[in-house]
């Protein structure tokens, strides 16, 4: 067999963007976020007995979140630039904290009606330091031959290790979940969604021209 040329095409890649902030950046951001969450905890002392709770989704409007909002929007703009998207503006449409004690997890889900979603990590520990992404191609599960090497070419999900000061962003349609907190330390993360606020007026019209005027 004579071969002139061969190659493997990796088509339709799924991007997950992970950024570890430097300690000098994240320490202040995390201190501010914790102060907001502590305040909420003081106002709602019943939450102390809850294994898992979430804030309302307007956390990004509080001044203590300004540092994180800045990082999220700068990162989102960089992502849009790298994807060469012609957009006018980006905004955070929802942002909330997840507080999970030992044994608590988040089931598999997506974040509808947004372009990007993400999570930022305020408090993690060994055993509570992961997020899992699920293969967005459900048909792949039809035939799953056993593989000798469970590397990146064949799992149905990929777990990413995270730690304090880490920002993870991904397409809002990508199924993800959080494994149970196996540590005795409370896990705190902040989730958010990012969308084009002028999507309907600026980006939804057809890109093609008709053959006639109307
Ligand atoms: Fe999520």
Asked which of 52-56, 127-131, 152-156 is least confident by mean pLDDT, the reply is 152-156
User: pLDDT, tens digit, for every residue of 176-214?
Assistant: 999 999 999 999 999 999 999 999 999 999 989 999 999
3 inside domain: no
| pLDDT above 90: residue 7 | yes
Ligand 1: centre distance to CA 136 (Å): 15
Domain containing 171 equals 17-136+157-198
User: pLDDT, tens digit, for every residue of 9-19?
Assistant: 999 999 999 99
| pLDDT above 70: residue 128 | yes
Ligand 1: centre distance to CA 132 (Å): 10
CA distance 81 to 199: 17
For the chain, how big is the Rg over CA atoms in Å? 20
User: pLDDT, tens digit, for every residue of 51-110?
Assistant: 999 999 999 999 999 999 999 999 999 999 999 999 999 999 999 999 999 999 999 999
Ligand 1: centre distance to CA 134 (Å): 12
pLDDT at 153: 64
Q: What is the CATH number for 165? A: 2.60.120.620
Any idea how long the chain is?
Answer: 214
CA distance 21 to 164: 9
131 inside domain: yes
User: pLDDT, tens digit, for every residue of 21-33?
Assistant: 999 999 999 999 9
Ligand 1: centre distance to CA 191 (Å): 7
139: phi then psi, degrees, rounded to nearest 5: -65, -20
Alpha carbons within 13 A on the beta-carbon side of 7: 4
Contact of 79 with 71, CB cutoff 8 Å: no
Number of structural domains in the chain: 1
1 inside domain: no
What single-letter DSSP state applies at residue 13?
-
Average pLDDT over residues 113-133: 97
Look at 164 and 50; give whichever has higher pLDDT.
Answer: 164
123 inside domain: yes
Look at 153 and 163; give whichever has higher pLDDT.
Answer: 163
Ligand 1: centre distance to CA 111 (Å): 6
């Amino acid at each position: 067999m004579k071969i002139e040329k061969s190659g493997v095409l990796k088509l339709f890649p799924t991007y997950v963007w992970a950024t570890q902030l430097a300690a000098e950046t994240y320490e202040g951001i995390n201190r501010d976020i914790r102060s907001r969450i502590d305040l909420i905890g003081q106002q709602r002392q019943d939450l102390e007995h809850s294994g898992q709770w979430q804030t309302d989704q307007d956390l990004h409007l509080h001044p203590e979140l300004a540092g994180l909002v800045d990082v999220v929007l700068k990162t989102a703009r960089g992502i849009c630039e790298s994807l060469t998207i012609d957009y006018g503006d980006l905004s955070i449409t929802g942002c909330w904290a997840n507080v999970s004690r030992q044994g608590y997890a988040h089931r598999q889900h997506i974040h509808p009606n947004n372009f990007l979603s993400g999570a930022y990590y305020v408090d993690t520990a060994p055993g509570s330091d992961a997020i899992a992404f699920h293969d967005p191609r459900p048909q792949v599960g039809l035939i799953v031959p056993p593989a000798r090497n469970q590397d990146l070419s064949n799992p149905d999900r990929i777990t990413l290790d995270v730690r304090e000061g880490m920002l993870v962003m991904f397409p809002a349609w990508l199924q993800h979940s959080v494994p149970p907190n196996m540590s005795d330390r409370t896990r705190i993360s902040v989730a958010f969604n990012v969308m084009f606020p002028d999507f309907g007026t600026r980006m939804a019209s057809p890109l093609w021209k008709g053959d006639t005027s109307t």
